[in-house]
Structure 1
Amino acid sequence: MPAPAELVRDFVNTLDVECGTDELACPAELALWLRERGLAGPLDRATDDDLATALALREGLRAALRRETTPHTVLPVLPLRLVVDPLPRLVPVDTGVRGALAVIAGAVADASWDRLKVCSEITCQWAFIDVSKNRSRSWCSMRVCGNRTKTRAYRARKQGSRRLQASNTDTV
């Protein structure tokens, strides 16, 4: 099973916002994704309700990673219990696919939350782990998303200065 931060990141990234592709397009794909990460067993099958819960969890986590959530944000109920043996840890109450989704929800508590982020490029929204020393990264990739954002800002400033120049010549 991946480290908690990697698990949360990978789960959020099952939807590629930019391309519109979704690794969890049906219950069977959800069960496969969970099995591939050692979260569900070979006989566990996902239902439509499980898929709806997974998608709600994914989008709730994405909103939380954007740091845009409010106290009223609703995440699906995935019960966990605290077990101390000898260290405290959260374990799912349910088994199967719902239990696997609860493991993902519980991973949030163990993840380096201040290092988990979503790319600030609105067309991207890719989750990433910020490994910068001061935790100041805004984009999943400076070369791609950072460049897009900065180019768009530059063009907007340039266009604004052209409008300003045009309005100044109109008044003369």
Structure 2
Amino acid sequence: MPVSTVSIAVGQWVTTDEGIRWWFDSGSFALDFAYTGRIGGLRAVELLHAPDDLTGWLHERFPVAVGAARSRDLFDAIALRDAISRMAVAASRDEAMRGADIDLVNLYAATPDIPPSLPGGTRQAGRSVQTVAQSLSTIARDAVDLFSPDNAERIRCCSGTDCEVVYLDTSRASTRRWCSMQRCGNRAKVRAHRARKAVNAAA
């Protein structure tokens, strides 16, 4: 089973250019971050237009306080996000990843991240507000887990017709086929049902 060092809930609402909004469990926190923009063939709406957008996304996802993002933080975040996106698409196609993208992820992963902590203590350990740079390091470290050899066969592209959504299959039997059962999985069921009816009608 794939493992992650980040204990943050995975999954988020994704909105496409056509205005279609649906829940997507990417299987990975780093992939969730990648889906704040376009990745693969999914025409997702760009979420990070300004530093405040990055601040909002981080505040929603991290269980600790993260400081406000600045313009430089947004630049760094988009650079990291786009590297993760390209790496995920390459992995899903069993293609080689760009060395520059690997270097970028490794660079962010090598910097101080948001440290784990246990609730219930009586003293504040470390910073009370984490920096955006620390949150990007945490995302990068999850990306290192995501692209580890253990997950080599689990980063996949949806089996839906004309769907190129990339996800990490975290199912125990490694049998996930769809980006979402409510989206492509349901479409496949409808097509299969119609095909069976057509065959029965012709018999």
TM-score class, shorter = 0.5 to 0.7
Amino acid at match of 1:22: E
CA contact (8 A) 1:40 1:100 kept: no
Give runs of aligned pairs for residues 23-102 of structure 1, distance below 5 A: 23-38=47-62, 41-47=66-72, 48-75=74-101, 77=104, 78-81=107-110, 91-92=112-113, 96-102=131-137
Q: TM-score, normalised by structure 1?
A: 0.57
Q: Deviation digits for residues 42-86 of structure 1, max 9, x if unmatched?
A: 2343435224313323423432451443143531623434xxxxx
Q: Which runs of 5+ in 2 are unaligned?
A: 1-6, 11-26, 114-129, 196-203
Distance 1:6 1:22 in 2: 19
Which of 5, 14, 35 in structure 1 is aligned with 2:36?
14
- For residues 110-138 of structure 1, give each alpha carbon's deviation from its aligned partner in whole angstroms, at most 9, with x where no partner exists: 457354544244435153543151x1322
Cα shift at 1:142: 4.5
The structure having more radius of gyration, on CA atoms, is 1
Q: 1:49 to 1:144 in 2, by over 3 A?
A: closer
Q: Say yes or no: does 1:137 pair with 2:163.
A: no
Distance 1:49 1:74 in 2: 17
Check 1:79–1:130 CA distance in 2 against 1; reply closer, same or farther (3 A cut).
Answer: closer
Which letter does structure 2 place at the counterpart of 1:80? A
Give SS of 1:127's match.
Answer: strand
Q: Which one has the bigger helix percentage?
A: 1
| Alpha-carbon displacement from aligned partner over 1:123-159 (angstroms, at most 9, x marks no partner) | 35153543151x13222235632465685xx99xxxx
Letter paired with 1:98? A
Contact 2:67 2:132 in 1 (8 A): no
TM-score normalized by the length of structure 2: 0.50
| Equivalent residues of 1:9, 1:127 under 8 A apart | yes
Q: CA separation in 2, counterparts of 1:31 and 1:126?
A: 25
Asked if structure 1 preserves the Cα contact closer than 8 Å seen for 2:33 and 2:81, the reply is no
Q: CA deviation at 1:104?
A: 0.9
Structure 1 gaps, min length 5: 82-89, 156-172
SS at match of 1:108: helix
Q: CA deviation at 1:7?
A: 1.3
